[in-house]
Amino acid sequence: MSDMKAQAQVLISYLEQEAQPAIVLDRDYNILAANSAYQRDFGAAGAPAIVGRKCFEVSHRYTRPCDQAGEHCPMRKALERRGPDRVLHVHHTPRGAEHVDVELRPLLDARHQVVGFVERLATVRSASARASQDGLVGRSHAFMRALSALQRVAPSTLPVLLMGESGTGKELFARALHESSERARGPFVVVDCSGLTETLFESELFGYEKGAFTGAVARKAGLVETARGGTLFLDEIGDVPLGMQVKLLRLIEAGTFRRVGGVETLHADFRLVAATHKPLQEMVADGRFRQDLYYRISAYPIHLPALRERSDDLPLLIESFLRRRPDVRVRPEALARLSAYAWPGNVRELRNVLERALLFADAGEIGLDQLPPLGSAPASGARPQLGDDELARIAASFRGTRHELARHLGVAERTLYRRLKALKLT
C-alpha cells in the first residue's frame, strides 16, 4: 500500500500539469491522491479532506459503491476488461448536483495486474442536473443515456440525427451538442424544414442572387452561408420535399452549393445536426425519403426520450418552469395528477399546462382547480395555430426576446420569424 501511495504521488505530480480534475484510486475505492483541479472543483471549504475517503462517498454521498446503488460503476467495468471505461454521472459538487463525464483508466503492474486507477473528470456545461430556466434539464436514466451519447459524439465531426416525439426538446439537444463541440464559437443556425415549399426551402437554405426571381431585389446569403464555421440544424428533416432532398444530399456529400440564380460554386463549412419525429426508415421503404440521404444524416443517431420515459425528471422540470414565479408552489395532489399523466405532447405540453395554470394561481398555489383538463390537448401537445391578428397582439405586448416568445407560444423560433416577417413585425 505504501508503494502504491508513493506511485500515486508521482502520478499526481504529473497530473498537476493538467487543467482537468484527476484523482488516483486503489482497488478498494480509496482516493490516494487528487490534483489541484480536482480539489478546486470538487472540494468544499469546511468539508473533510478528499484524500483517504471513498470515491463514491465524495462524488455521490453513497455509503456503498455505485454499482450497488443502482449506478454504472466505471471501476467495475475497467477492472473486468483491464482497460478504460467512461460514464456520465451526477456528482455532488460545492455548487450542487452537476453532470460529470468520468473516464477511468486502470494502472497495471509488471504482471499486468490492476493495482489502481486514474480517474479524470469533466463537468458537462451543456445540461443541468438542477432546476434551470435555460437549456437541458434532467437526471433520469433515460435522459442521461441521451446526454451521454451527445457528449460522446460532440468532439467529432460526424453528422448527428436526433430522433424523438414532438416536444422532446430536439432543438435544445442540438444546441447543447453545438456548445459541446469544437465549433461552439461559431453560429448555431436553425432551419425549420416543416411547411416550406421546395422553392422557398432552396432560397432559404442556399440564398439567392439579385434578380433570381420576382422580389429578389438584392443578393441574400442563405442559411448554409450563415452557418459557416458553426452548426447547421435541420429541424424536422423528414418534411424536406423529395425534389429538394437530392440537392441537400449534394450539399452534404460535396460540401458545395450555388445560390438560387447564381453560377458561382460556394464551399460550405458546417457541422450537420438533423432532427425528426417521423419514422425515416419507413419513409425510405415506401419512397418518401431518399435512402442515400438517410445514410448520410444518420451516421450517429440519438434517441431522445419521451417525457413518460423520463418521469423521474417531472418534479425537476416543473421546478425549472416555475423558477420565474418563485412565489407559486404546486400542491401535492396537483403534482400527483401531473405525474400520472402520459404527456403525449411531452415537455412542450408540460410547459403549456403550467403556463395556463399560472394564470389561475391567484393564491400562490397550483392545485387541482388550477390545472386544465389533462388529455384534452392535441396529441402533439402544441397550441392551436394562432391567427395573424392574435399573433400580432401577443408580439406587440410581449416583453422578452424572440427566442423567449417562441418558447412561450410553443413554436420553433424560425417559424415565428417567418410569420412575424410576413406581418412586417420583425
Structure confidence at residue 16 as a pLDDT band (50, 70, 90): confident
Sorted by sequence, the CB contacts under 8 Å of residue 214 that are 6+ apart come out as none
**Please, are residues 265 and 223 in contact by the beta-carbon 8 Å criterion?**
no
Structure confidence at residue 408 as a pLDDT band (50, 70, 90): low
Structure confidence at residue 344 as a pLDDT band (50, 70, 90): very high
Ordered by start, the domain boundaries in the chain are 2-123, 136-303, 307-370, 388-422
What confidence score (pLDDT) does residue 389 get? 65
Structure confidence at residue 45 as a pLDDT band (50, 70, 90): low
Find the Cα–Cα–Cα–Cα dihedral 259, 260, 263, 265, rounded to 10°. 30
Structure confidence at residue 383 as a pLDDT band (50, 70, 90): very low
What does the pLDDT look like over 232-287, one tens digit per residue?
999 999 999 898 999 999 999 999 999 988 888 999 999 999 999 999 999 999 99
Across 378-388, average pLDDT: 47
CATH number of 2-123: 3.30.450.20
Structure confidence at residue 386 as a pLDDT band (50, 70, 90): low
Amino acid at 146: A
Across 318-332, average pLDDT: 93
Q: Where are the beta strands (DSSP E) in 135-195?
A: 136-137, 160-163, 188-192
Across 102-123, average pLDDT: 91
Rounded to whole angstroms, how far apart are CA atoms 196 and 202? 9
What confidence score (pLDDT) does residue 178 get? 97
What confidence score (pLDDT) does residue 118 get? 93
**Please, are residues 163 and 302 in contact by the beta-carbon 8 Å criterion?**
yes
What confidence score (pLDDT) does residue 110 get? 84
Run of H or E residues at 267: strand 266-267
Across 311-340, average pLDDT: 93
Q: Higher model confidence: residue 64 or residue 415? A: 64
Rounded to whole angstroms, how far apart are CA atoms 46 and 48? 7
Average pLDDT, the chain: 88
Is 84 a residue whose pLDDT tops 80? yes
Q: Higher model confidence: residue 384 or residue 164? A: 164
List the grid coordinates of 391.
Answer: 399573433
Q: Higher model confidence: residue 180 or residue 409? A: 180
What confidence score (pLDDT) does residue 47 get? 67
List the grid coordinates of 97.
Answer: 448536483
Rounded to whole angstroms, how far apart are CA atoms 97 and 90? 6
Amino acid at 303: H
Run of H or E residues at 330: strand 329-330
Q: Which fold has domain 307-370?
A: Helicase, Ruva Protein; domain 3 (1.10.8)
What confidence score (pLDDT) does residue 390 get? 63
What confidence score (pLDDT) does residue 46 get? 62
CA angle 147, 329, 171 (to 5 degrees): 25
What confidence score (pLDDT) does residue 211 get? 80
Q: What are the start-end ranges of the H helices in 181-285?
A: 198-206, 223-226, 242-254, 280-285
What confidence score (pLDDT) does residue 377 get? 43
Rounded to whole angstroms, how far apart are CA atoms 97 and 28? 25
Q: What order do you get walking across the sheet with 114-123 strand by strand?
A: 31-34, 22-25, 114-123, 96-108, 85-93
Rounded to whole angstroms, how far apart are CA atoms 26 and 107? 9
What confidence score (pLDDT) does residue 133 get? 87
List the grid coordinates of 396.
Answer: 406587440
* Residue-by-residue DSSP string for 42-98: H--TTSPPSTTSBHHHHHH--SS-GGGGTS--HHHHHHHHTS-EEEEEEEEETTEEE
- Give the percent of the chain with pLDDT over 70: 91
What confidence score (pLDDT) does residue 233 get? 97
Q: Higher model confidence: residue 65 or residue 176? A: 176
- Measured on CA atoms in the order 379, 380, 384, 387, is the torsion positive or negative? negative
Q: Higher model confidence: residue 382 or residue 351? A: 351
Residue 294 CA to chain centroid, in angstroms? 22
CA angle 93, 97, 99 (to 5 degrees): 95
Phi first, then psi, for residue 276 (nearest 5°) are -160, 150
Which of 108-117, 292-301, 379-388, 392-401 shows the lowest per-residue confidence on average (mean pLDDT)? 379-388
Q: Higher model confidence: residue 108 or residue 426? A: 108
Strand duo 160-163 + 270-276: pairing: parallel
Amino acid at 50: I
Instruction: Pick the closest to residue 93 from 51, 124, 116, 134 (CA basis).
Output: 124
Instruction: Return the CATH class of domain 136-303.
Output: alpha beta
Rounded to whole angstroms, how far apart are CA atoms 324 and 329? 12
Is 213 a residue whose pLDDT tops 70? yes
Question: Which of 251-260 are b and which e, b meaning 16 or more Cβ less than 10 Å from the residue's Cβ?
Answer: bbeeeebebb
Is 394 a residue whose pLDDT tops 80? no
* Residue-by-residue DSSP string for 83-147: S-EEEEEEEEETTEEEEEEEEEEEEE-TTS-EEEEEEEEEE--SEESS--SSSEE--SHHHHHHH
Across 214-227, average pLDDT: 88
Find the Cα–Cα–Cα–Cα dihedral 77, 79, 84, 85, rounded to 10°. 20
In three-state secondary structure terms, 355 is: helix
Rounded to whole angstroms, how far apart are CA atoms 108 and 396? 66
